[in-house]
Copies of this chain bind each other. A is one copy, B any other.
């Protein structure tokens, strides 16, 4: 059963309004009334889709976290011949497509829906399982390497969202990634 077009449009309007308001004020200060007014939807319609503004936030975070996870896993799986460079660059591209939403969500920190935490966790997980599967040597803790990868990626993501894609910055990340994946690279080459 597919979603009714009207429902799709309504949800999009609400999400867009919400993201816009997040750019103006803190999540806590945003009211449902404002979201309805800005998105031109009635209160009754809002409440027929969401329990409250927290529910809206959680659903948005879930949606984009899932999409990010799918993308990240896909990229890691498609790595051939130890070609790890380029994976992160594609992740950056993906994130840039939804720049407005991602940027807004990254700055909201509600325990039930913390996008920043989710993203970093996804990066850590995907990187770790990749290392465990592909790396022969275990001299350095894979867990440590994966955490380092995730942390560095997050910095780079935030920076790119703010300043746009920059070749020098991307190169720097590549160097760090090469260090993290050096075991793997040595074996494969």
Point out residues on A near B: beta carbons under 8 Å: 5, 8-9, 13, 40, 42
Contact = CB atoms under 8 A, between A and B. Distances in A.
Contact of A40 (B8, B40, B42): B8
Contact of A5 (B8, B9, B40): B40
A9 B13 CA distance: 10
Nearest to A12: B40
6 contacts: A5-B40, A5-B42, A8-B40, A9-B9, A9-B13, A9-B40
A42 B13 CA distance: 18
A42 B9 CA distance: 13
Contacts of A5: 40, 42
Contacts of A9: 9, 13, 40
Contacts of A42: 5
A9 B16 CA distance: 14
Nearest to A39: B9
Contacts of A40: 5, 8-9
A145 to B, nearest CB: 46
A9 B42 CA distance: 13
Query: For A5, A9, A13, which residue has the most chain B Cβ atoms within 10 angstroms?
Result: A9
A13 B8 CA distance: 14
Nearest to A10: B9
Nearest to A42: B5
A54 to B, nearest CB: 26
A186 B5 CA distance: 63
